[in-house]
Structure 1
Amino acid sequence: MEDIAKVVLENEMDLIIAHKRSMKLAEMLGLSLSAQTSFATAVSEVARNTIENGKSGSLVLGVDGTKINKQVQFVVATIKNEKNSYNSLNGLEYAKKLVNKYSVSTNKDAETLIELFYGIPHRIKLDFPQLDEWRTVFRNEPAFSPYEEIRKQNERLQELTAQVQKSEAQYKMLTNSLPLMIFSLNATGLLMYANEWLQRYTGESIESLNTSQWKQVVHPGDYDSFILFFNNKIPQEAASIKIQARIKEKDNDDYLWHQVSLSPFQNDRGELQYWIGYLVDIHAQKVYEETLKDNFELKQVQEELKDHQNKLEQSIAELNQSNFELQQFAFVASHDLQEPVRKLMLYSDYMLSRHTHNMDEKGIEYLKIIHSVSGRMRNLIKDLLAFSQISKSEIAFSPVDLNNIARFALQDLQLPIEEKKAIINIQPLPSVTGDESLLRQLFENLITNSLKYSRKNVPPEINISYKQVENNHEIIFSDNGIGFDEKYAPQIFKLFQRLHARDQYEGTGLGLAICLKIVEIHRGAIRATSSEGKGANFFVSLPIRTA
């Protein structure tokens, strides 16, 4: 089942919300008024039993029937009751007369699950954009009472809290996986976070390091310069600060040279939030510097070590910048961008549908521009999130039949293919080792690109073929579209790069960048050849892996 909306069941006000949202979902799915009433009444009867038991439960509304070849679709209500809280089935006895089928089960936590199914008389396309649009409708639906507004704000706060917790967990996993000692300091110099490498190396906890101000782990000869970091004497305007100090290793009590780097993290107003710090082992280099200065050959080694250090410092700086941009993007995408854009689209759409008779032509034109620009911004945010989440997801490599991938991609793109009257020819494709969902996205993006850049009044023709090139599978996507000057071939795979104006061809400039990222994750390569007016060819090369 695809979940669309959820209601917590605690009191009579929640029962009103449950009835209202059940009616709304049934209406969106095209059910008649009598069918809407029957379904909502059945839901209300079972939900009422949950509330009258005096223990909270929940209602999840959704749609069943998204699996391929499934003939019947249902609007579904799932009422979950707390452990041992469902003592009466009176409501169900009446509700089951109003729906097509029902089920009662108990999950592993001894909670009672009651599912009510009401058949949808016609087939509905249940793809991701449609489901996301329905969820957005419920998420942005105006509250009909102060109680519902408070309830909705609480649900949003819980969602945001879950996102923050997930982000923190990912950050900790990342820092613990890197062979670096990473920590963060607040504005007063106290440790807020230290990864496992730092605590394992020093044998000290965050609390003990804060209490002793690192005195038990820093060499006495380096302590005075080192402790400046922690005494609130760091210039806040500094881009980054670096010193060298000897840090004691707990296993053998040896003091080894480390480079200490600090970089500020600021908010959008330029105010310091905290410092991000790194400890990098440079002991081998320091030994060479201090004991082998007069030996020419060893001086060359010293220069190589310095070069290695510079590269390492550059990598640390890039990691720091990447971390900063990731945090900024996550904040902007989750709060400052998405919510205002949703409201812009909601209110502009409301004005266009309800109040155009009170506006002059210029006002209507401006309002349409606002609605259009908001839609482009929403698509850009979605594409940015899709791009950033590719590397976050846990990649599961397994045998994947590309013939199935191509078939699924055509099913997902059925509407634009039919609108363009496109002809798509697919030769037999091989099985490869990779991630099924990412490869499916790769096929969809490349086919969508060919559909988008087709010639006017010429039905698109897309040919997908295969050949083996040495130890690689090569899949070729060819089309008869507008093509492009081949000198721009490397540019088209970069973020936000467009070869045509937005008013000619819509898009965010992220589709082919996502393709490149997917192919690189699979240790492959992608390239393009073309000429203006003669179509384009995209070559995807994936390594042949043997068991």
Structure 2
Amino acid sequence: MSRPVRLLFVEDNGDDYLLEVRALRRSGWEPDARQVTRLDDLRAALRECRYDCVVSDFSLCGFDAYAVIAEVRALAPGTPVIVVSGTVGEDTAVQLLKAGAIDFVTKDALPRLGRMLERALAERDATLAKATAEAAVRESESRFRTMADSAPVLIWLAREDDAFEYVNHAWLDFRGRTLADESGAGWREGLHPDDAAAWDEAFARARAAGGGFRHEIRLRDRFGDHRWMLVHGAPRRDARGYIGSAVDITEMKEMTAELRRSNAELEQFAYVASHDLQEPVRMVTMYLELLQRRSLDRFDAHERRYLAVVLEAAARIRSQIADLLAYASLGQERRPAVPTDAAAVLDESLAIFRDEIERLGAVVDRGPLPAVVVRPDDLRQLLQNLVGNALKYRGDSAPRIAIAAERAEDGACRFTVRDNGIGIDAQNHERIFDVFQRLHSRDAYPGTGIGLSVCKKIVESYGGRIWVESTLGSGSTFHFTLPAAADVAVR
């Protein structure tokens, strides 16, 4: 099948022109050909139409192939030129190629012209594609820099070796330096010396994994103060290296530290207050019980009812103080976390409920539990609260509780405690984890409303999270994550 091609022949010999066209047709081309003999006609033809290739004789009347190449480069850049000549010496051929010819052929080797044309067009297309891609990259880079220089956050581009290629205006304004100052390793002059090794490690780890990273560093500002910066980096798609941003989080870290101090003080206050309140409440309860034992027969029905109400209130206060003390004690200095056999801790927790499980006819299904890095008392409290709730908030049928665990994608261990109880309305899924939050009256379900908040505090103290999936009337499934212990047997 013939391949169409639009060609401009610069040839002052009509017979040679016909021979060249015939040679191309025999090679499978179908030329849409035009012949010109003068330089002015060449210029006019190039202005009128875009040609796939120019085929020029070397020596013409009043000009030569060098002049043709110059005109083509000026008026139709990117159009390949093939030179045809009776005889072309090696030196002349080299000079033609240097001048811009794509190839040359002698007139006694015209059968090669078809292959030369194919090669010339392929090279032209490759050059055009490369130029188009480079232009697109330049345009994209220009748009990126325009947007980056307008952004309020600090933006940077780095090579694979951590050398900066570009930073935006916000970065330069923050540092009080020029792009030349910050390029290469220059930006590291503002990096706090104590943060350099950790930054290098984070960058190298991300590069080895081929992924992004998130890291905090201290960077010196234009006034000479080191500010805390949260730096995000992501691999660049079009080139090797990274693109990233940096946000000043100094105030946020100061506020977080102040909040931690305030929370610690509040927890200490709650711990001390609840601890100190235990004794006077215990004394009040003791004397009320003593009064009940010794003088109850002298009270009338109203007085006995009043005394019962006061005793019940005192018992509730003692229970709330005990729960509050347990909640506050989670913020105190305690023993370090250790690899803990979750299956053994579950055995201990279920033993506490053995009588209640038998009384209710409850069924507890359990799967293998991975070991986790926690304080055993914390895990025991966590499981007791969730199992206790499953037994307490049961439906009409006998309770069924399923406890399982699996490794999550992030390497942590995700536990699941599922029951067939009364369920929880979706609007309360977050609220139930707040302190002293109750969804039912004390007459219906006794308790202080602290249990799940204790669970949340325990889980979050290990960097995990706890949540519930539930529909009212259809049971509940509590999930929580804890750090997994490596190389510890699972049973």
Per the normalisation by structure 2, the TM-score is: 0.46
Higher relative contact order (CA 8 A, sep 6+): 2
